[in-house]
Structure 1
Amino acid sequence: MGRIFTIVILLFTMNANSQNLNKKIEDISRGKTVMINKCTRDALISFPDMKPQYDIEYPTYKPDSVTISRLIPLITEKKVTIVLGTWCGDSKLQVPRFIKLMDVLKVNENDITFICVNGAKKAENGLIDNLNITNVPTFILYEKEEELGRIIESPKTSLENDLLLILEK
């Protein structure tokens, strides 16, 4: 009996967590539907507010090959959290470019976490409360749970160069 109860609780917890993945809400402050909380890459790039810009930015963004060759040995075993707003112009521009950069670098999709926020730059259930997000998008790099650095809103020079500066510290 106890084993069945444990399985039921486990399934309930998994179902509750899955309801927050790829979640959409009406954001009153923006007057539109936005994604909130964690989402998958596929859900993000097919979301109506993201898809048109993604379809332009992803194929046309060409990261600098010299910088890429310097990044490849440095990016292994790193994780990335991307906090973005599907309503935000900078997110619509920079996130597709960053995804392209991660693809060129062959970063495993499981090492990238996408978290969407509402117009107040908040997610539900305290998901980003400890991240001190002031602007979106924010690209946070980690190594073994330790934050290495951030690219906030727009890169200073280019995404790949800013990433290199973080990883060469």
Structure 2
Amino acid sequence: MIVKNINTRKVFFILFFLANLMVFAQDKLTPNDRNYTGIITEEDFRTGYTQDWFIKGFTDYKPNAKVLKKLKKPLKKHSIKVFMGTWCPDSRREVPKLLKILDEVGFKEKNIEIYAMDHSKSTKENYEANLDVHHVPTLIFFDKKGNEVNRFVEFPIKTIEKDILKIVTDQSYKNPYEK
């Protein structure tokens, strides 16, 4: 009878501990959780549930070398905020391409911020506040003074690297939703 009580107590303690751990874990989502919103990095994309689509999109994309050469210098005068959804087909298509382009032109990681959003296009920390983000992905380009220059929204007009080149060289560019 004593052995049975000890085993019951151990089982109860273990179940209690695991239940509390699961509740705590729900409050501490990480970039590899499907419902994560917030800052996410290229390294985060390469691990966990995002790695299959990210690595394939990144590896398979072959940006236009001539456009990359033109893009390298003017892009360095900008910072970028990316709002995307790990659940979104457009984000899954365009974000790996963007990061491949940035890697190939030597864009500094400190000049890009990537935010994972939920289905309602928001983040828990409200990173999108006052930035008018309605579609994902939205890539917002800023000058060195922090002023918005222009934005790429959801899909390219030509190709992503050609659209970015227009944005960072102050050429006329309107995203698909701009009037």
Q: Taking structure 1 as the reference length, what is the TM-score of the superposition?
A: 0.78
Task: Give 1 or 2: higher strand fraction.
Answer: 1
- Contact preservation (8 Å) 2:83, 2:116: yes
Q: Quote the Cα distance in structure 2 between the aligned partners of 1:22 and 1:112.
A: 19
Q: Give 1:44 shift.
A: 2.8
Alignment match, 1:160: 161
Q: Quote the Cα distance in structure 2 between the aligned partners of 1:134 and 1:45.
A: 26
Larger radius of gyration: 2
- Give the ranges of 4+ consecutive aligned residues of structure 1 lying more than 6 Å apart after TM superposition: none
Aligned identity (percent) is: 24
Q: Quote the Cα distance in structure 1 between the aligned partners of 2:93 and 2:66.
A: 23
Q: Taking structure 2 as the reference length, what is the TM-score of the superposition?
A: 0.74
Alignment match, 2:147: 146
CA RMSD of aligned residues (A): 1.9
Q: Which runs of 5+ in 2 are unaligned?
A: 1-26, 171-179
Residue-by-residue CA offset, 1:5-56 (whole Å, 9 max, x unaligned): xxxxxxxxxxxxxx9894566xxxxxxx3220112221133240x2211121
- 1:147 maps to amino acid: E
- 1:65–1:23 Cα change, 3 Å: closer
Residue-by-residue CA offset, 1:90-131 (whole Å, 9 max, x unaligned): 111111111000001110111110101101011113221111
Alignment match, 2:95: 95
Query: Which runs of structure 2 are paired with 1:1-169 in the superposition (5 Å)?
Result: 22-23=30-31, 33-48=34-49, 50-144=50-144, 145-169=146-170
Q: Quote the Cα distance in structure 1 between the aligned partners of 2:51 and 2:91.
A: 12
- Contact preservation (8 Å) 2:32, 2:48: no
Query: Does the residue aligned with 2:133 lie in a helix, a strand or coil?
Result: coil
Q: Quote the Cα distance in structure 1 between the aligned partners of 2:29 and 2:151.
A: 24
Q: Which runs of 5+ in 1 are unaligned?
A: 1-18, 26-32
- Contact preservation (8 Å) 2:79, 2:141: yes
What count of residue pairs does the alignment treat as equivalent? 143
